[in-house]
């Protein structure tokens, strides 16, 4: 896996991923975790997320996501549409949610 530098708006993160698209998806996931209950295991309540946002700020994405293996602020970095990446993230998240519900229903029926 390669190391990618992902940036969009105020979000800047480094990600180990198999591809630039997967790195962008992980960055979107990180941004969504700030405000949505996407991971029940993180133990963060809405109040603690609000407090974190107030003290550390919220990372806000803009219209494009730049993903580079060479570093941040690279004008030659490949560009992805943020909405396309968010749409793909949403589809994946919805599919995982459906699978989890199916597994839970199967466990109850057994």
pLDDT tens for each residue of 21-53:
999 999 999 998 887 766 655 666 667 767 776
Domain count along the chain: 1
8 pLDDT exceeds 80? yes
Q: What is the rounded distance in angstroms from the CA atom of residue 50 to the CA atom of residue 35?
A: 8
Helix (H) or strand (E) holding 75: none
Average pLDDT of span 93-109: 85
Helices (H) and strands (E) in the chain, counts: 3, 4
pLDDT tens for each residue of 48-67:
767 776 677 788 899 999 99
pTM confidence score: 0.79
Determine contact, residues 67/23, Cβ cutoff 8 Å. yes
Give residue 103's domain range: 2-109
109 pLDDT exceeds 70? no
Average pLDDT of span 68-92: 97
């Amino acid at each position: 896996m390669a190391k990618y530098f992902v940036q969009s708006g105020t979000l800047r993160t480094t990600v180990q991923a198999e591809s630039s698209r997967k790195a962008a998806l992980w960055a979107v996931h990180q941004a969504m975790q700030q405000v949505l209950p996407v991971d029940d295991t993180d133990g963060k309540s809405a109040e603690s997320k609000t407090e974190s946002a107030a003290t550390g700020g919220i990372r806000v994405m803009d219209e494009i996501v730049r993903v580079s293996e060479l570093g941040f602020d690279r004008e030659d970095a490949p560009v992805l549409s943020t909405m396309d990446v968010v749409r793909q993230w949403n589809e994946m998240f919805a599919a995982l949610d459906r699978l989890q519900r199916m597994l839970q229903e199967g466990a109850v029926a057994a």
